[in-house]
Amino acid sequence: MPLEYINNHTITFLISCPDQSGIVAAVSSFIFQHNGNIIESDQYSSSQHNGTFFMRVSFAEDSFTLKAPALIDTFQPIARMFDMEWNVYYSRQRKRACIFVSKADHCLIDLLWRWNSKELMMDITCIISNHRDLELLAAMYDIPYYYFPIHKESRQQDQQRMLDFLHGKVDFLILARYMQILEPFFVSTYPHQIINIHHSFLPAFVGANPYERAFERGVKLIGATAHYISNELDEGPIIAQDAIHCNHRDTLEALIRKGRDVERRVLAEAVRLHIEDRVLVHKNKTIVF
Amino acid sequence: MPLEYINNHTITFLISCPDQSGIVAAVSSFIFQHNGNIIESDQYSSSQHNGTFFMRVSFAEDSFTLKAPALIDTFQPIARMFDMEWNVYYSRQRKRACIFVSKADHCLIDLLWRWNSKELMMDITCIISNHRDLELLAAMYDIPYYYFPIHKESRQQDQQRMLDFLHGKVDFLILARYMQILEPFFVSTYPHQIINIHHSFLPAFVGANPYERAFERGVKLIGATAHYISNELDEGPIIAQDAIHCNHRDTLEALIRKGRDVERRVLAEAVRLHIEDRVLVHKNKTIVF
Amino acid sequence: MPLEYINNHTITFLISCPDQSGIVAAVSSFIFQHNGNIIESDQYSSSQHNGTFFMRVSFAEDSFTLKAPALIDTFQPIARMFDMEWNVYYSRQRKRACIFVSKADHCLIDLLWRWNSKELMMDITCIISNHRDLELLAAMYDIPYYYFPIHKESRQQDQQRMLDFLHGKVDFLILARYMQILEPFFVSTYPHQIINIHHSFLPAFVGANPYERAFERGVKLIGATAHYISNELDEGPIIAQDAIHCNHRDTLEALIRKGRDVERRVLAEAVRLHIEDRVLVHKNKTIVF
Amino acid sequence: MPLEYINNHTITFLISCPDQSGIVAAVSSFIFQHNGNIIESDQYSSSQHNGTFFMRVSFAEDSFTLKAPALIDTFQPIARMFDMEWNVYYSRQRKRACIFVSKADHCLIDLLWRWNSKELMMDITCIISNHRDLELLAAMYDIPYYYFPIHKESRQQDQQRMLDFLHGKVDFLILARYMQILEPFFVSTYPHQIINIHHSFLPAFVGANPYERAFERGVKLIGATAHYISNELDEGPIIAQDAIHCNHRDTLEALIRKGRDVERRVLAEAVRLHIEDRVLVHKNKTIVF
């Protein structure tokens, strides 16, 4: 039996549905009846979210007796009874990522190191950039690096080419300081599957040059925000945020330098939450289990 | 119907037992069959804890059809089947605390404020001290304050008197910088029910004068640790810890002053976790749900 | 000799002037010539602030040979030579504060405790409120409490009455969740002498109901900002900021509760910096030494 | 004029001497007389350090009229008058580091990235390791990598060989998880010039396997400590410390993984403080300006 099929692999359900009694019992009984051993289970419901119920349950794959297609058929009646939106994820099927970068390397280095040291359990299909600067870094980790220039006048076509190229090859995208605004048709191809790092504590300093404006305002904290891309700029559901202290001695350059530490940490955290299937999106907010 | 019986009251189970499949299904089905609506459910098991399974599940009381004594009888067969240690808690039965203080007021002020602003849902039966200094503070909140002096030569009897006095009146004790070592017979009367705040980041600086020794060692962080009292000094299960930065400019007095902020925050956090029935003790460690 | 004249009292200069060589030498030589022993000295200048130089120097009062009026006359030529704006502060002359409150008590309790435990070395002249709710708290610390109602239709006159009342009695004002917008004539009477706590991480969520909007946006951090009041709402120079993590489980009420911890901490920090003469304002930014 | 001689270069004095009046005036007047423009100046003295006075002053090199040897001769009388221990550092003479590693790469990657992105202004002479694992990483940055195996039976000679090799080539050493205990003769060759990262919050968990013991003790925070190596194991002066939260879900492996983030951050911070000449050692403590 191939190594990757044994030990530690899990199946995870992400569920949302109208709140009512019996959901946890129904789901956990289903898992038990088919010999699954629940490893983590978390749920949330609140009147402040229109009575929607959210659940993440994760159980060992090895003892579970239903194989992939049967699982869906067998669970379907339960899903229908509770009017569920649901997805099932197999940890053994690692998500395939494409990382988009521009010239800044700090987020990419950090992602690659964490991936290489098994902290981020994903496959990296390729790195795409509108510059050639980080090619060597990709080579060091044996990851294909594709140069896709973006020209002002051919922006739509340029992005369409990337979309065509990626078709069928990836599950989600990471914008690791990519610095280009993606077109609506591009974004809607990967709904809640494009993670961006915004170099400010949103919603403070939306838009361009957040460090410059933070510097001008004389703030004492700078932050970073990882969020799913939506078609309204800087407005998608927030996955993770953090902030660090700064003071009057920090020049604009120092803020940028300090900011890099918090950016890379927040982006890595958001990627980890995404690939571990811990994020549910409800309207413009996330439930992070 | 009396006000306290409606709205928001929950029943919480804390369970530990040998790990096996079907526990979550059994517990959640039990709750569902008797019309309970699960609000929070968390569990944990790990080979690193000898295959012990831990669970906390909390559900709405109002729709639940089993009343207190029936609940225990009805659940007993399930508990027996899985060899469970279990406890059930009703949020409507607020835990009764006695706060022990000496002369320092910062932890007490903070606990009283949080209690008064409904952040800590407990009853405070009384405050006990070996000094009269904080009597006025207790009066401000209309809480009985009892002066129990402790003399070196009559320590055992002095503590026995407190024990007799508290008998039947309280569920747990909070040592809010009490500065007295409790006798083994006292501690064993309230197993895992006495919360202490130690003014260091245990296990660094166990024993007396931690700030003095932190100052001498030139550390750059000082911390605080809230833990259950065991009969080995500074050795009980840790509930919460935190730390803050300090530097060479901090005199011993400044460390003590800074430390108060982290002490009161950590103690309040531990009390909150305890009264919300979020802490399970396994050997000398806590599982905090 | 009266106790307050000996030991530990310091004289502090706050200076700003166009940057050039020799300023530190001139100031420190002046202090030395008159037998002052420098305890702290900090300075800052940056091309990014139009070549302005900022300095804070603090020295022991007891050995210093120039008394108050002579000090000013003797230093004046140096100040003129470097085109300085400067102020001198005596730590023995504790600043006199008036604390403005509404109904929320958390900031006030914290300020009073820190003041009472000698962490905030100021005099509290009185507490002013548009409600009677916190009268008892003031009484506990023997601080006069004045009820100044504010009516919509007589807002200007109401605030003028407070201004008249305070005339000559206080050096600075602390708005400890006062919830009223002060009129321009009021604000300009105390330039850079009114400290406000805004319950968000400015400039995110300026204006009303920041927690509500933070909740709606689904942020993962909430913050607080202490700043000097200017006549543009939520726009004065920022003195201190901090933030804490939150998540989807935090209801609006929970955000408010969590926020109180960071609000009181940030306000107390700003007050400490102000009364220790550590804050210089330059345009809309602060230099905090 | 070669580029590195102009713009932004500074000269820094680190001074310690018995406390008395006039030190700041004497030093700043000296700098002014020779046309230096003070950029940063910080000092500290405390009765709790036996009346020792510590000072760091940094001024622009370009306008300063005394060249290197003349500076020392000219300042010597002042130094003698105040009985100073003092050192002078030129920012243009970047410190030369040797980084020691074993198999773990996280600290090295972080140091190299920060060095490469100009955050750490030092020269890296070489990397030394008792394993070959990280050779490729060094190659990527064009840094010589030397394999120096350490054998139990020839430990002294092995370390002597490294010492001979480094002679005259480096100013300080960074132990980036080197995992070998350096011999006393080695340590005393570089007094206060060997920076180590200890993977715990010292003095908690001194010695081997700190994460294992933190796990066993059930702590809720894990930390890291960067310190100068002394000849008592884990006992040298602490330069920087930090800590992060953990909980019962963290397996030993998870603690190690989480710990890496705080280790690399704390080590990089200590290296930055060292190369910017911000650390003075007094007995077993540091003054960090």
Q: pLDDT tens digits for D255-281?
A: 998 899 999 999 999 999 999 999 999
Residues 8-37 of chain B with CB under 8 A from chain C are none
pLDDT band at residue B187, thresholds of 50, 70 and 90? very high
- Using DSSP's 3-state secondary structure scheme, residue C170 falls into coil
Q: Does A142 touch chain D (CB under 8 A)?
A: no
Is it the case that residue B227 has pLDDT exceeding 90?
Answer: yes
Domain(s) labelled CATH 3.30.70.260 in chain C stretch across 3-90
Confidence of residue A165 (pLDDT cuts 50, 70, 90): very high
Q: Which top CATH class is A3-90?
A: alpha beta
Contacts of A119 in chain D (CB under 8 A): 257
- The contacts of residue A243 (CB under 8 Å, 6+ apart) are A201, A221, A222, A223, A224, A262, C201, C221, C223, C243
pLDDT exceeds 80 at position D252: yes
C-alpha A201/C-alpha A214 separation (Å) is 10
Q: Which of the residue ranges B261-275, D2-16, D128-142, D227-241 would you say has the lowest mean pLDDT? A: D2-16
* Percent of chain B residues past pLDDT 70, beyond the cut: 96
Tell me which amino acid residue D269 is: E
The partner residue sitting opposite D140, judged by closest CB among A113, A119, A140, is A140
pLDDT at D238: 97
| pLDDT for the residue numbered C147 | 98
- B-C CB pairs within 8 A amount to 22
* Catalytic-labelled residue, pool A105, A158, A234, A277: A234
Chain D residues near residue C26 by CB distance under 8 angstroms: 32
Touching partners of A (3+ C-beta pairs < 8 Å):
B, C, D
A238 min Cα distance to partner chain C (Å): 6
pLDDT of residue D7: 56
Percent over 70 (pLDDT), chain C: 96
Per-residue pLDDT band at B6 (split at 50, 70, 90): very low
Neighbours of chain D (3+ CB pairs under 8 A): A, B, C
Q: Which residues of A touch C223 (CB under 8 A)?
A: 201, 221, 243
Read off the amino acid at residue B161: R
Residues in contact with C194: Cβ distance below 8 Å, sequence separation at least 6, in sequence order = C172, C173, C174, C175, C182, C187, C228, C229
d(CA B223, nearest CA chain D) in Å: 10
Task: Tally C-beta pairs within 8 A across A and D.
Answer: 22
The predicted structure's pLDDT at residue C7? 56
> In the predicted model, is pLDDT for residue C5 greater than 70?
no
**Can you give the pLDDT at residue C28?**
93
Q: Is the pLDDT of residue A207 over 90?
A: no
Q: Which of B234, B242, B250, B277 is catalytic?
A: B234
Closest residue on chain B to D234 (Cα): B217
As a whole number of angstroms, the distance between CA D127 and CA B153 comes to: 64
Residue B93: band (very low, low, confident or very high) from pLDDT cuts 50, 70, 90? very high
pLDDT band at A7, cuts 50/70/90? low
Q: What is the mean pLDDT of residues A181-206?
A: 94
- Measured between CB atoms, which of B219, B249, B288 is closest to D247? B288
Determine the Cα angle at D8 with ends D4 and D12, to 5°.
100
D92 has pLDDT over 80? yes
In this prediction, residue B47 has a pLDDT band, given cuts at 50, 70 and 90, of low
Evaluate if residue D50 carries a pLDDT over 90: no
Per-residue pLDDT tens digits for A71-109: 999 999 999 999 999 999 999 999 999 999 999 999 999
SS3 state of residue C97: strand
Taking only the tens place, the pLDDT of each residue in D201-218 is: 888 998 889 999 999 899
3-state SS, chain D, equals: CCHHHCCCCEEEEEEEEECCCCHHHHHHHHHHHCCCCEEEEEEEEEHHHCCEEEEEEEEECCCCCCCHHHHHHHHHHHHHHCCCEEEEEECCCCCEEEEEECCCCHHHHHHHHHHHCCCCCCEEEEEEECCCCCHHHHHHCCCCEEECCCCHHHHHHHHHHHHHHHCCCCCEEEECCCCCCCCHHHHCCCCCCEEEEECCCCCCCCCCCHHHHHHHHCCCEEEEEEEECCCCCCCCCEEEEEEEECCCCCCHHHHHHHHHHHHHHHHHHHHHHHHCCCEEEECCEEEEC
Taking an 8 Å cut-off on Cβ atoms, the answer to whether B117 and C106 are in contact is yes
Nearest CA in chain C to B40: C249
pLDDT for D87:
96
- pLDDT average, residue stretch C131-144: 94
Segment B242-264 shows an average pLDDT of 92
Report d(CA C132, CA C101) in Å as an integer.
10
Residues C28, D24: C-beta atoms closer than 8 Å: yes
B244 lies within 8 A of chain D by CB: no
What pLDDT does C207 receive?
A: 86
The catalytic residue among C105, C234, C250, C277 is C234
Domain spanning D96-288: CATH superfamily? Formyl transferase, N-terminal domain (3.40.50.170)
Q: CA angle, corner D144, sides to D140 and D147, nearest 5? A: 110
Interface of D with A in 83-122 (CB under 8 A): 105-106, 109, 113, 117, 119
pLDDT attached to residue A260: 94
Split at pLDDT 50, 70, 90, the class of B45 is confident
Q: Give residue C50's pLDDT.
A: 67
Report whether B88 contacts B82 (CB < 8 A). Answer: no
Q: How confident is the model at residue C48 (pLDDT cuts 50, 70, 90)?
A: low
**Chain D residue at shortest CA distance from A40:** D249
Active-site residue flag, B234: yes
CB pairs under 8 A between C and D: 60
What is the pLDDT, as a whole number, of residue C51?
A: 86
CB-CB contact of A210 with A191 (8 Å): no
What's the token pair of residue B286? 């806590």
Contact B113 C119 (CB under 8 A): no
Q: What is the pLDDT of residues B145-176, one digit of tens each?
A: 999 999 999 999 999 999 999 999 999 999 99
Q: How confident is the model at residue A49 (pLDDT cuts 50, 70, 90)?
A: low
ipTM: 0.89
**Is there a contact between C251 and A288 if contact means CB atoms under 8 Å apart?**
no
**Residue found under tokens 């011993």:** B252
pTM recorded for the entire structure: 0.92
In chain A, CATH 3.40.50.170 sits at: 96-288
